[in-house]
Amino acid sequence: ARTAAVIPAAGRGVRLGPGAPKALRALGGTPMLVHAVRAVARARAVSLVVVVAPADGVDGVRHLLDEHSLPEVLVVPGGETRQDSVRLGLAALPEDVTAVLVHDAARPLVPVDTVDAVAAAVRDGAPAVVPALPVPDTVKEIRPPERPGDPEPVVGTPERSLLRAVQTPQGFDRLTLADAHARVAREGDGVTDDAGMVERLGVEVVVVPGHAEAFKVTRPLDLVLAEAVLARRRA
């Protein structure tokens, strides 16, 4: 019985603006992907890391990880969507892996305690675990306007105290996650995370506390925050 981490890192980073694929952009002088791999590899439960690299960048990523003394990490090519990339990462896992953590390269600063907490909850028997935080903003549900560009009509306001913003690593019983990736519709349907696919199977997903520093680097302002967090850690 062992736990592996799959790190989807094959995205382009369109929302971050022009430049290298997001996972390869520097944070404190080191590529985001390297931070993310170290963050999960540091967890005691994790015995294997699989990085899903941009399809045309596998050799470059392999080299990068060797350079940063992470030679035991497997590197496989990714797909068109995050879902495809995770599926390709799962396919590379050895038989004896029984639990999987899926962690975005775009969350390079996740604290090891958060990784450990997710892994522990899976080991304790939960088939699916997500780290999450309460939502500071009030959230509205809208309906797409009849004509694009028109104001969006609000259709409801979910009770904020019951909402959670979910992060990664998300942890799973390996067979449960593989089953979800095999059976849940490939695209559309608004599935944006792995736990969402498992929910579609009717399997219970539980929440453990997330961490503010596990935020996702998505837009340019997030890089400013990430640099500041790193500088504070190094101080």
Q: Which lies closer to Mg ion via its Cβ, residue 11 or residue 108?
A: 11
E-state strands within 96-234:
97-102, 128-134, 141-142, 154-156, 164-166, 170-173, 206-209
Residue 235 to residue 230: CA distance in whole angstroms:
9
Tokens 């028997």 sit on residue: 125
Count of Cβ atoms closer than 10 Å to residue 26 Cβ: 14
> Contact between 100 and ligand CTP (CB under 6 A)?
no
Neighbours of 114 (CB within 10 A): 23
Among 4, 34, 49, 52, binds ligand CTP (CB under 6 A): 52
All residues at 6 or more sequence positions from 118 whose CB lies less than 8 Å from its CB, including other chains: 101, 129, 130, 131, 169, 170, 171, 208
Contact region with ligand CTP (CB under 6 A), list: 6-14, 59-67, 139-147, 148-156: 6-14
* Amino acid at position 232, single letter: R
146-159 burial code (b ≥16 CB/10 A, e <16): eeeeeeeeeeeeee
Site map 167..206 versus ligand CTP, x via CB under 6 A: ----------------------------------------
**Per-position x/- string for 3-42, each x denoting binding to Mg ion as judged by CB under 5 A, each - no binding:** --------x-------------------------------
Stretch of residues binding ligand CTP (CB under 6 A), selected from 43-51, 60-68, 99-107, 125-133? 99-107
Letters for 10-49 (x = contact with ligand CTP by CB under 6 A, - = none) are xxxxxx------xx--------------------------
Which of ligand CTP, Mg ion, none sits in contact with 10, Cβ below 5 to 8 A by type?
Answer: ligand CTP
Binding site for ligand CTP (CB under 6 A): 8-15, 22-23, 52, 78-82, 85, 104-106, 216, 218
Q: Which residues bind Mg ion (CB under 5 A)?
A: 11
